[in-house]
Structure 1
Amino acid sequence: MARFRRQHAGTCRRRCHPGTAAAHKQGMSIDSKPRQPKGIPVGGQYAAYAHAEPGNVLAAARHRQAMAERRELFRAQGFVPAATLRTLTSPTTTAHRDEWWNNNFVAAEYGAGGKNYPQMPDDNTPSMHEGQAMSGKRRTHRMNYGNNDIQLRMPSATAIRRFSGDNGNPTFDVPVSVSLRGGAPVQGWVRVTKTGPHTWETTTLGGAGASNGPASEQVAEAVAAVLESRRVTTALAKVPDLLAARKAREAAKGAALTPVSSSWINEVGFDENTNTMATRIGDKLYGHKVSKQFFEAMKTSERPGQVFNKLVRAHQRTAVTQCGTCFRFTSALVKHTCPTGHKAVSGIGQGHVERARQRAEAVAASQSHGVNPVVNIAPAPAPVNTAPSRNAQPVPTKKTGFPAPRRPAAQPATAPETGPAALAEHLKTTDTAGF
């Protein structure tokens, strides 16, 4: 045995790591598997590895749960709010086109009673040759646009502009997949409206609220920058800070003035993008740099003039102007643009939307087979233990000598409502995951 160890140690010096050879020389095991505790029936045997659950398994489970929720909404045959779905496909690849379009159909917004905003169709091409779109035609060409902060895949800017122009520039929804720096790729929709020769209004969808924070603003600004650029391939490379660009865009729209109950102050307004407060006194408009808290205090006060004198008048003055068309005010340092917003539902493209809804329902059902959505419609409060403890004091008595009545025991809440109708009603009033 000793001879074998000497021979093996010599081999290890030539083939193994020095530390491993030393272990062999001392007759030690180099197997890194964990051993069972000594003293149990299988003591000394190697235990099985406990591998962590792969991340893609958890992502797949969440995806099936999201699909189950969408499936129930489609079955309810009512309004289906837009959602943002996680995806494993990066926006930088052209692969998995079927999955890309199908997931976006599932994530789209669908109105009740046939009142839908049109969707950018999956077959918008000039020649309309045969292909793999729902209509049997060739699919709409998609492009990837990006910079250091965002990667965006959507129908090409040329296709979007063509669809808008061919239909009288309505408001419509565009499918996108997005990957922000440090975040997982997601798919969803952006509502767009052409408002001028080279200007577009863009709003991300994904819940009851149209805006869901910085990520939403980045995505909306990225789509607008691409559609407004003359050279779309380098559009986002020219926008190093999407949030700053979005803030400047919103600042150009200004803010509205509202009347207040005061004997000498007529109207007040606050622009959050520039932290500017405007105060109309008679025929003059005054601007001050104040916090929104000071503005709210003045707007809601029973004596706005008194609050103005105490909190606002001493702050830095700034020049403001009021537009004669939209009557909104802006800082004099900002070039004003009258806000136009999105248009009403136009009624075009309803055939495509109906086909998309049917496809979405089928996809959601196939990808959530056997999964029930977990939605807490009306969470029940925790039960209250009203039984007296072992060391409880006697019930206090009134002067009459009769014991004081106990408070009635809390009744258990009814079970939360479930089913397609309850789920649809719940998601109408709560935001789903957004950008």
Structure 2
Amino acid sequence: MSTWDDKRHPRDRKTGEFVELAGTEQADTLSPAGTEEYATDERPESAADTTRFSYFRRARERMRDRARELLSRGYLPASSTEATVDPRSREGIDEFWRSHYVSAEQADLTHTGGAYEVMPDDYTPSMGAGRALSGHRRAHRIGYSNSEVAVRMPSVTAIRRFSAEKRGRTFDVPVDATYPGGSVSGYVRVTNNGPGMWSVEGLGMDPEAKAYVSESVQALLEARSVTMALNQIPDMLARRAERLRSAGVGQREVVASDWVRSAGYNRASGDMVVNLNGRTYGYRGVPAEVYQRLTEPGVEDGYSAGKVYNALIKRKHDSFAVDQCPTCQRYFESGRAHRCPSQHKARVGARTGYQNAVRTRLVHVAGAA
């Protein structure tokens, strides 16, 4: 049971210096704590100063561009950038939060749909003074790693507790990570869909980063032993492929044939299921374009799904028996583990005090740059 004191730490009310003005025109004229570093005009005098000056200049430019987009569109999707500090290191807490203030999804109050809630930078039982936007102490970040990946983010315990307080609503969590292809600083969108089942999606990341980071965070959130969770996974992408395969395949009607009644495809595994005159079969390693031709046969196939099946699938790919899940109605290979697909929940629309503070900071710093 959570021992969090909502009276001492009101999550859904504006806090700190943004109590009265957050979300108003006056709030955008404030000078939030921690923004002055972006306005420095000092010139570099050493290699270290040059690196720092270059970092702040890029940060100012990125904030300015995103602030302009927010003001013109009323909405900003979450974005990502290269991590500036190795996630295996405990250093760089200032850089971590500065980057994530800029990367967060944002939506004006007039924007339809709003934005997902963001886990705030002061989510900690300690209410002492600190450098969070509220003026409180910043959330503790924990590093998790194996030989492939390293992630640094709020602790798994804190994420689970925040989810419980929000009654399972979807929210965004800041994360920095390294993976075989490089590094990334951004957000993952998380939803608890039941005991030991989480949906995790990297936001604004390239496909490789998204795959590694999403799978790593999901493995951590679902693990019983968090400290050893990543070390027990020798190949993160293989785990991801197997998990996506275990979700099985749904089916869509094939209108171009009375014999081929329906078909479905799993792009992660290349598995395809097809209903032939009332009986469903599975096939491995089917190219996506073959599935496309089966469900939408063109002139080259005589507009016949049966012709596509006989020419490109039958005896061309290994077949397997399938079962149908009574819960999600999807088909999966007989004898293999199945996991119903999980998904995120709808945005709640309302903007929290923390999101107001982040927006204020973004607009203020961009205007001063």
- TM-score where L is the length of structure 2: 0.77
C-alpha contact 1:106 1:363 (8 A) present in aligned 2: no
Structure 2 residue matching 1:270: 3-state secondary structure: strand
User: Does the Cα contact within 8 Å between 1:174 and 1:190 map onto a contact in 2?
Assistant: yes
Structure 1 172/150 Cα, relative in aligned 2: closer, same or farther at 3 Å?
Answer: same
Q: What letter is aligned with 1:128?
A: M
- How far off is 1:63 after superposition? 4.5
Tell me, in whole angstroms, the C-alpha distance in 2 between the residues paired with 1:111 and 1:132.
Answer: 24
| Structure 2 partner of 1:304 | 305
Contact 2:220/2:229 (CA < 8 Å) preserved in 1?
Answer: yes
- The alpha carbon displacement at 1:214 in A equals 2.1
Query: Once the 2 structures are TM-superposed, how far is the Cα of residue 80 of structure 1 from its aligned partner?
Result: 0.6
2:242 counterpart of 1:243: no
| Kept in 2: contact 1:190–1:202 (CA 8 A) | yes
Q: Secondary structure at the match of 1:85?
A: coil
Kept in 2, the 8 Å contact 1:252–1:336? The answer is yes
Structure 1 position 103, deviation (Å): 1.5
Aligned-pair CA distance for 1:56: 8.1
1:263-274 superposed matches below 5 A? 263-274=258-269
The within-5 A match list for 1:408-423 is none
- Matching residue of 2:185: 187
Are residues 311 and 86 of structure 1, via their aligned partners in 2, closer, same or farther at CA, if it must alter by over 3 Å?
closer
- CA distance in structure 2 between the partners assigned to 1:227 and 1:60 by the alignment: 33
- How many angstroms apart in 1 are the aligned matches of 2:55 and 2:355? 28
Structure 1 position 333, deviation (Å): 4.3
Give the match for residue 351 of structure 1: 353
SS class of match (1:92): coil
State the distance in 2 between where 1:62 and 1:102 align. Answer: 12
- Any idea what the Cα deviations from partners look like across 1:164-217, whole Å, max 9, x if unmatched? 01110110000011122452x4310000001121121100111xxxx7322210
Q: Does 1:161 align with 2:160?
A: yes
Q: In structure 2, the residue corresponding to 1:144 is in which secondary structure?
A: strand
* CA deviations over 1:88-113 (Å, ceiling 9, x no partner): 22222333323321210111111243
Question: Shift in Å at residue 126 of structure 1?
Answer: 2.5
Q: Deviations over 1:207-243 (max 9, x none)?
A: xxxx732221000011111111122222211111111
Counterpart in the other structure of 1:220: 214
Alpha-carbon offset, residue 57 of structure 1: 7.8
Helix, strand or coil at the partner of 2:75: coil
SS in 1 for 2:347: coil
- Residues 283 and 220 of structure 1: CA distance in aligned 2, closer, same or farther (over 3 Å): same
Q: Which region of structure 1 is more displaced relative to structure 2, 65-74 or 308-317?
A: 65-74
| 2:281 paired with 1:286 | yes
Distance in 1 of aligned mates of 2:135 and 2:244:
41
Whole-Å separation in 1 of the counterparts to 2:121 and 2:131: 9
Gaps of at least 5 residues in structure 2 are 1-49, 298-302
CA contact (8 A) 1:67 1:365 kept: no
1:335 to 2:337 alignment = yes
Q: Which has the higher strand share?
A: 2
Of the three residues 61, 70, 73, the one matched with 2:69 is 73
Q: For the Cα contact (< 8 Å) 1:194–1:200, is it kept in 2? A: yes
Q: Is the contact made by 1:106 and 1:361 (CA closer than 8 Å) also made in structure 2? A: no
Structure 1 unaligned regions, length at least 5: 1-53, 370-435
- Counterparts in 2 of 1:213 and 1:77: CA distance versus 1, 3 Å: closer
Amino acid aligned to 1:161 = R
Q: Residue by residue, what CA displacement relative to the aligned partner does 1:34-59 show, whole Å, maximum 9, x if unpaired?
A: xxxxxxxxxxxxxxxxxxxx988877
The one-character-per-residue Cα deviations of 1:110-153 (angstroms, maximum 9, x if unpaired) are 12436121101111122433332222222211101111121211
* 2:139 corresponds to 1:143: no
1:348, CA displacement in angstroms?
6.2
Q: Aligned partners of 1:343 and 1:70: how far apart in 2? A: 26
| Larger relative contact order (CA 8 Å, sep ≥ 6) | 2
2:202 to 201, 204, 214: 204
Aligned length: 310
Residues 266 and 281, structure 1, Cα contact 8 Å, conserved in 2:
yes
> What SS does the aligned partner of 2:89 have?
coil
Please tell me whether the aligned partners of residues 116 and 353 of structure 1 are also in contact (alpha carbons under 8 angstroms).
no
Question: Sequence identity, in percent?
Answer: 37
For residues 3-41 of structure 1, give each alpha carbon's deviation from its aligned partner in whole angstroms, at most 9, with x where no partner exists. xxxxxxxxxxxxxxxxxxxxxxxxxxxxxxxxxxxxxxx
Distance change in 2, residues 1:137/1:362 (3 Å): same
Q: Does 1:120 align with 2:111?
A: no
Measured in 1, the distance between the counterparts of 2:363 and 2:219 equals 33
Higher mean displacement: 220-229 or 126-135? 126-135
The DSSP-based 3-state class of the residue aligned with 1:308 is: helix
Mark the CA change 1:179 to 1:355 in structure 2 (over 3 Å): closer, same or farther. same
- For 2:288 and 2:193, how far apart are their aligned partners in 1? 30
- Is residue 2:253 matched to residue 1:254? no
Asked if the contact 2:149/2:180 (under 8 Å) is kept, the reply is yes
Secondary structure, counterpart of 1:219 in structure 2:
helix
Separation (CA, whole Å) in 1 of partners of 2:246 and 2:144: 25
Q: Does 1:233 align with 2:227?
A: yes
